């Protein structure tokens, strides 16, 4: 379903609540002019989607806490509701060290899937969403822990702005990450590239912006980024081919995992369910 909303424009210091407030009535007999059209920034769209997802959270739940620029707003909101007493007895399972630090700073009690192997609900962002709710995730580098935790949940709610919608995975022409062991990483990268030669694949090692050194995941691995010029075809077959390569730990295709995708756009929120 789609929920229509007005178009908004806000300054950087405006809150989401400020953005959606209607102008107050005036005591003057002269009618006030209509408010100017307002446009939401991409960051505001992310926050709107995150807040909508947190509506699924109930007291007593074990929650998978996602990683990234959209998921951080969901974690922030959960922390606020706990502090206000509107949520109680929540246990969070973070998908990265960064999320763990954020959750601890907000007073969210944490555990792991060793102690809680069944997760009630996970909320996370995505880098791409196709029409079948398959995802590309992991451009932030946390794909392995994300897949472990979100694969153990009863309900997986994905939060995105409309720029993340693609006709097929890889359709953004941006990276599809693959986590690999550091040992002989060039050999593994070459094999990954050859797998998808027909799709014009280019494989690149992810490096740090500040020093050019290889990016290292929370699991002490490297990430090879795959860029495609064409559709890679059957996703399950592509997944199997990648995972059969020695040296590969996990890839960023999250297939048939999302149960709900919340998309925030200029015209409102769309909730897509499996």
Residues involved in catalysis: 146
Side-chain half-sphere of 265: how many Cα atoms within 13 Å? 12
Distance of CA 5 to the CA centre of its chain: 23
3-class secondary structure for the chain? CEEECCCECCCCCCCHHHHHCCCCCCCCCCCCCCCCCECCCHHHHHHHHHHHHHCCCCCCCEEEECCCCCHHHHHHHHHHHHHCCCCCCCEEEECCHHHHHHHHHCCCCECCCCCCCCEEEEEEECCEECCCCCEECCCCCCHHHHHHHHCCEEEEEEEEEHHHECCCCCCCCCCEEEEECCCCHHHHHHHHHHHCHHHCCEEEECECCCCCCECCCCCCCEEEEEECCCCCCCHHHHHHHHHCCCCEEEECEECCCCCEEEEEECCEEEEEEC
Is 65 within 8 Å of 72 (Cβ atoms)? no
Is 114 within 8 Å of 149 (Cβ atoms)? no
Phi, psi torsion values for 82, nearest 5 degrees: -65, -45
Is 70 within 8 Å of 53 (Cβ atoms)? no
């Amino acid at each position: 379903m789609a929920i229509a909303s007005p178009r908004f424009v806000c300054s950087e210091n405006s809150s989401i609540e400020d953005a959606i407030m209607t102008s107050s009535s005036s005591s003057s007999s002269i009618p006030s002019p209509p408010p100017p059209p307002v446009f939401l920034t991409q960051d505001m769209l992310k926050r709107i989607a995150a807040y909508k997802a947190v509506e699924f959270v109930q007291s007593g739940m074990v929650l998978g806490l996602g990683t990234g620029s959209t998921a951080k707003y969901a974690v922030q909101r959960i922390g606020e509701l706990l502090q206000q007493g509107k949520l109680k007895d929540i246990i969070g399972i973070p998908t990265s060290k960064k999320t763990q630090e954020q959750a601890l700073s907000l007073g969210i009690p944490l555990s792991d899937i060793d102690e809680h192997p069944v997760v009630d609900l996970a909320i996370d962002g995505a880098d791409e969403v196709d029409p079948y709710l398959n995802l590309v995730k992991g451009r932030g580098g946390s794909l392995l822990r994300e897949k472990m935790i979100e694969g153990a949940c009863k309900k997986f709610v994905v939060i995105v702005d409309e720029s993340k919608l693609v006709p097929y995975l890889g359709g953004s022409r941006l990276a599809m990450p693959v986590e690999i062991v550091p040992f002989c990483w060039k050999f593994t990268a070459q094999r990954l590239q050859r797998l998808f030669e027909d799709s014009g694949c280019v494989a690149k090692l992810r490096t740090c912006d500040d020093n050019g050194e290889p990016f290292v995941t929370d699991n002490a691995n490297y990430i090879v980024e795959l860029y495609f010029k064409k559709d890679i075809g059957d996703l399950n077959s592509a997944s199997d081919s990648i995972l059969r390569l020695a040296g590969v730990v996990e890839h960023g295709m999250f297939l048939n995992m999302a149960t709900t995708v919340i998309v925030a756009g200029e015209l409102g929120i769309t909730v897509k369910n499996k």
